[in-house]
Every structure is written in structure tokens, then in C-alpha cells.
Amino acid sequence: MQETVFNALADLALKATGQAIPPSRAYLMEARLAPIARREGFGTLADLVYCIENRQNPVFRTEVASALLTHDTWFFRERPVFDTVINSVLPERLAASPAGRLRVWCAGGSSGQEAYSLAMMLEDEPGSSLRSAKIEILSTDFCKYSTEKARLGIYNHYEAQRGLSIFRLMKHFDRMDSGDWQANETLRSRVSFRQHNLMESASGLGKFDLILCRHVLSGMSKAARMRVAEVLAAQMAPGAVVLLGEGESFQGLTNLLEPARDIRQGWVAAGTANRVAA
């Protein structure tokens, strides 16, 4: 790949999504953009870049930036996190809620597996106080295609079996004539999906008691991670918790959040960790 082409695409990804793509991953750019280039009739990625730079088409620019993101996810990724959410975080937040309702945000939720996993656990846990609780789950992602896929809840056989037990697959999904699996109406009714860029304000989404932002920060520049910390902190209800992915941290990025004392990968509003633990 020509250096000028790589630089143009890397700059697009950085400005649009905060992703910092190193030159060593140029081969991923070619693989991810090849389908778009073929569809649009571009002979090379240089032609695609020329189109982006010389035509004012924000929809196409967003599609290209989305294609450069990593969308890999699966059901019940890092299962202990879901156990912590169900057994600890949500019950504690519910007990502290005067209205008896909670809001959960899966930020950067890709094609919906994380949100549906949580919804399934809320449905399946026997005797849990959460089963009858009013818990709203919202999943957002920058990519329009991923958001639409999540809303439909349709997964191919590989995606459906990745992380799902046979019991949950048969209980919560319907087999389609195509061989794909679709989340049933009951499961889909428990989750809502919206397209949103974590680099932009999320004030229109409201406040949340729990925010899951896992495996989103890893590929971002430091400036972008700082911005995401600000965006998430602004949407935290009093006592809210943010959960990051394994190996991710806000350390050194913000003075708005601090590590939760008793929740692995959890972050709370600055100055409240001791109070939350107590």
C-alpha cells in the first residue's frame, strides 16, 4: 500500500473514531476495504481515497471509517464479568434506586452479543430479584451496519454458537429458513439499539447506572481515550459503575473517574470509591 494512501486512511480513522492504526496493520486496511472498493468499482484503494477527498459524501466517509474498526465480539465474552454484573453490581444499584428501575449502556456494543448476553442472564437467573425489575438495556455503536444487525438479532451458525450454550440457543433464538439464528421477540424486546460515536457527546442518551465499555479503548489514541472517559463520566447516574475490558484502564487519562475498590475492571466517579465499598 502506498504511504500516502495509508496515511489518508489512518487519518480518517483517527479523526472519525479515535482509532490509531499503525503502519504494521496496513494489510488489515486492504482486507477490510476491499469489499467496499469492489462494490464501488474502484480499481485501487488510491481511487477510493481520491473519492473520499474530492467528493463531499459524509455517509460514505463514515462507512469507510466503520470498516476500519475491529468488530469482533461474541456472546458472554469474559463470562465472569456478567456474573459480577448479575450477582453484585445490578442488585446493589437496584437496592439504591428510589424508582426501582435501572439503565444499562453497552457503549461500543458492536453487533449486539454483549447486550443480548446480559438480557438472557436477566431472564434466566432463577429467583433473582432482577427478573422482575425494570432494567433498560441500550447498546450503541459507531457502525451503522453493526447497529442494524444487532437490532435484527440475526447471527450465522458460527456467531450463534460462539459463547452460547445449546440451552440458551434453543430458548432464546429461532432457526430461520436460511440456517441463521434470530433472537426471539421476547429477547429483542429487552434491548434497544442506536448508532452513536463515542467521540461525541452522549447527552441525548440520558444517565445510566451501569456502563459497559469493553474492548473499545484498546486501539484508540490517548487523546481519544481521554475523550471517551469524559463522555462516559458525563452519563453516569449517582453511584454508577463503568466496566472496561481486560487490560483496559482510565489511569492517567482523567480525574473524573477512579478504580472501584471491589469490582474488577470497574470505575466509579472520582472520590466515591471508598463510599461505594462501604
Mean pLDDT computed over every residue of the chain? 93
For residue 277, the model assigns a pLDDT of 46
70: closest CA among 125, 120, 13, 11?
A: 13
Do residues 245 and 106 lie in contact, with contact meaning Cβ atoms separated by under 8 Å? no
Q: What is the pLDDT of residues 86-124, one digit of tens each?
A: 999 999 999 998 888 999 999 999 999 999 999 999 988
Q: What is the pLDDT of residues 145-155, one digit of tens each?
A: 999 999 999 99
Give the global pTM. Answer: 0.92
- Band (273; pLDDT cuts 50, 70, 90): low
For residue 1, the model assigns a pLDDT of 79
- Band (126; pLDDT cuts 50, 70, 90): low
Residue 276 has pLDDT above 70, yes or no: no
- Kindly list the structural domains of the chain, giving each domain's residue range(s) and its CATH number in brackets, ordered by start: 3-67 (no CATH), 79-277 (3.40.50.150)
Torsion (CA) 132, 136, 137, 139 in degrees, nearest 10:
170
For residue 127, the model assigns a pLDDT of 58
The alpha carbon dihedral of 259, 260, 266, 272 has a sign of negative
For residue 128, the model assigns a pLDDT of 65
